[in-house]
Amino acid sequence: MRKIAIIGAGQAGLYLGIGLLDAGYTVTLVSDRTPEAIRYGQPMGTPILFPNALQLERNLGLNFWDREFPDSIRFRSEVSDPEGNTVLSISSDLQLHWQAIDQRLKFPAWMQEFVRRGGELVIQATTTEDLEKYAQNYDLVVVTAGRSAFSTLFDRDIQKSPDRGPKRHIAAFVTTGLKGDLEDLHTARMTVLPGVGEIIQYPFYANGQVSTLLGLEACIGSFLDRFSSSRSPQELLKIGKKAIEHLKPDYYEAIANLKLVDDRAWLLGAITPTARHPVGNLPSGAAVMGVGDVVLVHDPIAGQGANNATKMADLVKRRIIERGDRPFKTSWMQQVFDEFWRDVRYSRALTDCLLTPPEHLQDLMVGMAQNPEILADYTQGLNHPPSLASWFFEPEAAKNYLARKNAIPSIHWEPPLAA
Ligand SMILES: Cc1cc2nc3c(=O)[nH]c(=O)nc-3n(C[C@H](O)[C@H](O)[C@H](O)COP(=O)(O)OP(=O)(O)OC[C@H]3O[C@@H](n4cnc5c(N)ncnc54)[C@H](O)[C@@H]3O)c2cc1C
């Protein structure tokens, strides 16, 4: 059977590796970190997965936490004015739940599962020279090493990456101690502070307990953007809570007692949305293929990165299998990426809309508050962004859609979302 090497044991690499093993391939998966180092380290991301990506995981039998962890069962979003008053609130039950598992729990468990299903796991911080060796000995090398790896191997695609820098500074905390009833604890919530940033909160499974992910997306230079001076994770969380107390006093009570689940349960970052060329040409002339964050990275505001890493890994798996015994040429790699781009560009557009809201987003949010069907279409859009194509992105299309749904954009607030 054909031999595939995968570099990077994260969301994309593990999904792809286990999927290919199940299809009878010989797979070597290379991780720069041992399962223990991942388990006891800092998270690199804190993703929530939506139903389509979760279903892909379930199809491979990787949903180990389904029974232990009650998911996000409700979505709620509100817009706040500069005084901290809620000017618009939307919420609905989620017919298909969302789920966020600590990658520090998930990846070591999936690594173990990969070995149990017959894969070879190698611990090695892979270099370009190592890639050359893998390229000589395997039919295909797939690089899934995440957002900060191999950036010189996969050139930035300037046309697909107009952003010159990040739009948000991000802080994320895995915590316990959220105050609220059972429904609050299982609600995925986004509070929009126009021109300042977003407060994001969702149930999170970490350390064998139901926790809360608190994420802060701070517009650069805004009042919320105040993490650079902190000296410890605890201080960082304290700064985040103080900012919330100032910006949204009625939210503060719920999060006042949050504590980190452990000293490493936090991260700080800033992501410049970037698309890279999917083919990495090695000095010898051999080529490797990039999948996941290594070639497509999103700000996490719309929760798209790990969902897309899973979907892209799934597409690549299916196309590898279809390829049979034919060689994995660079034209094939490009074709598979182009096929994925046709859908993922909507994911990018959705993320851009939330980072830099267009004027008509305000009307759409008012529509969501008036008509549950519109909110259901939006949550389906988070799950499957191409479904937003016909109504969400362009002002005229949004206006026609709202008219069809009998929604009247009657409320306007200051400053507008587009502030
Ligand atoms: C704060 C934050 C919140 C997020 N929230 C969401 C969300 O709500 N929803 C969502 O879908 N996404 C979210 N994301 C994004 C998500 O975490 C990533 O998109 C996803 O994990 C990418 O998967 P990947 O497999 O490409 O990379 P990763 O999961 O990062 O895996 C890459 C792996 O490769 C390993 N590696 C790196 N270099 C090497 C090397 N040289 N050799 C061998 N191994 C190597 C790394 O150790 C790592 O384990 C969030 C990200 C952040 C930062």
Is the CB of residue 43 below 6 angstroms from any atom belonging to ligand 1?
A: no
Determine the distance separating the centroid of ligand 1 and the alpha carbon of 217, expressed in angstroms.
18
C-alpha to C-alpha distance for 130 and 191, rounded to whole angstroms: 45
Return phi, psi of residue 77, to 5°: -140, 140
C-alpha to C-alpha distance for 202 and 225, rounded to whole angstroms: 21
Ligand 1, atom nearest to 291 Cα: 26
Report, as an integer, the average pLDDT of 140-157: 95
pLDDT at residue 23 is higher than 80:
yes
At the top level of CATH, the class of 3-62+101-163+272-352 is alpha beta
Measuring CA to CA, how many Å separate 306 from each of 141, 208, 261, 296?
Answer: 21, 21, 22, 10
Determine the distance separating the centroid of ligand 1 and the alpha carbon of 227, expressed in angstroms.
22
C-alpha to C-alpha distance for 223 and 226, rounded to whole angstroms: 7
C-alpha to C-alpha distance for 386 and 334, rounded to whole angstroms: 21
The CA angle 206-212-215, to the nearest 5 degrees, is: 110
Report, as an integer, the average pLDDT of 387-392: 98
C-alpha to C-alpha distance for 48 and 385, rounded to whole angstroms: 15
Determine the distance separating the centroid of ligand 1 and the alpha carbon of 305, expressed in angstroms.
8
Determine the distance separating the centroid of ligand 1 and the alpha carbon of 323, expressed in angstroms.
27
Nearest residue (CA) to ligand 1, atom 2 = 45
pLDDT of the residue at 419: 62
Is the CB of residue 276 below 6 angstroms from any atom belonging to ligand 1?
A: no
C-alpha to C-alpha distance for 314 and 227, rounded to whole angstroms: 37
pLDDT of the residue at 68: 79
- Amino acid sitting at position 231: R
Topology of the domain covering 72-98+167-269: D-Amino Acid Oxidase; Chain A, domain 2 (3.30.9)
Is the CB of residue 307 below 6 angstroms from any atom belonging to ligand 1?
A: yes
Determine the distance separating the centroid of ligand 1 and the alpha carbon of 296, expressed in angstroms.
11
When the pLDDT of each residue in the chain is averaged and rounded to a whole number, the result is 95
Residue with tokens 């560009």: 345
Determine the distance separating the centroid of ligand 1 and the alpha carbon of 351, expressed in angstroms.
17
Kindly indicate the confidence band of residue 390, based on its pLDDT and cuts at 50, 70 and 90.
very high
Question: Is residue 102 classed as helix, strand or coil in its secondary structure?
Answer: coil
Measuring CA to CA, how many Å separate 82 from each of 52, 90, 336, 369?
Answer: 36, 19, 46, 20
pLDDT tens for each residue of 161-208: 999 999 999 999 999 999 998 888 999 999 999 999 999 999 999 977
Kindly indicate the confidence band of residue 410, based on its pLDDT and cuts at 50, 70 and 90.
low
C-alpha to C-alpha distance for 64 and 72, rounded to whole angstroms: 16
pLDDT tens for each residue of 59-95: 999 999 988 776 999 999 999 999 999 999 999 999 9
Report, as an integer, the average pLDDT of 287-298: 97
Tell which one of 56, 144, 174, 293 to mutate to probe ligand 1, the residue whose CB is within 8 A of the most ligand atoms. 293
Domain extents in the chain: 3-62+101-163+272-352, 72-98+167-269, 358-404
Report, as an integer, the average pLDDT of 291-307: 97
pLDDT tens for each residue of 233-253: 999 999 999 999 999 999 999
Report, as an integer, the average pLDDT of 108-129: 98
Whether the model pTM is above 0.95: yes
